[in-house]
Amino acid sequence: MSWRELLRVNAREHLAIYALVSLANFLLSVPQYLAVNTALELGINPNGTTASLITQYGSSTGLVLDFLRSGLIFQGVMAVLVIGLIGSASSRRGWRWQYALTGVFVSTYLAYHLGGKFLNALGWIGVLETSGVNVSDVYGDLFWFGLGTTICYLLVILVLRRSYGKLASPRPRETRLVSTEIL
């Protein structure tokens, strides 16, 4: 099967899954970015690769580069998973269990990633709170953006289910009209 034919298998649903996943990741990145930026303004330094990027490029550019790097890595992993979902749908033998298993893997990875991002944002809010900063605005942002992320995640699950349903439904056979002549 060529790439063009492969990408046509439930293309609308698979593009919707990728778009929703991207939106969910972005929605949780906003409050996380705001919390880390507030911490940097207070002089609280992060650890790991974020710290090295901030040291190398400065606080604002380093923070943006860190969020871009992590966002691009996530987008790449999700692109591979969605392509795997497409590949399992186009498999000729045993596609049902392959598609279902790949769909479970996509939703599990997404939940793991988004949950980790949410907990990371909560951790930064905790650091801000112990520093004496009023974090009610940051909590509010996290709540609303988290709600949007949750809605996107649920929509991903529903689109995965719809895609599986479209694949599992019997395809209409071509009916041939037979003309009968009355003698």
The CA-to-CA distance between both ends of the chain, in Å, stands at 48
pLDDT tens per residue across span 51-64: 777 777 777 788 88
The Cα–Cα gap between 111 and 77 comes to: 14
- Answer whether 0.85 is exceeded by the pTM: no
CA torsion through residues 157, 162, 163, 169, sign: positive
DSSP 64-126: HHHHHHHHHHHHHHHHHHHHHHHHHHT-SSSHHHHHHHHHHHHHHHHHHHHHHHHHHHHHHHH
Asked if residues 65 and 57 have their Cβ atoms less than 8 Å apart, the reply is yes
pLDDT tens per residue across span 85-139: 888 877 767 677 788 888 999 999 999 999 999 998 898 888 888 888 888 888 8
C-alpha of 137 from chain center? 25
DSSP 19-46: HHHHHHHHHHHHHHHHHHHHHHHTTPPP
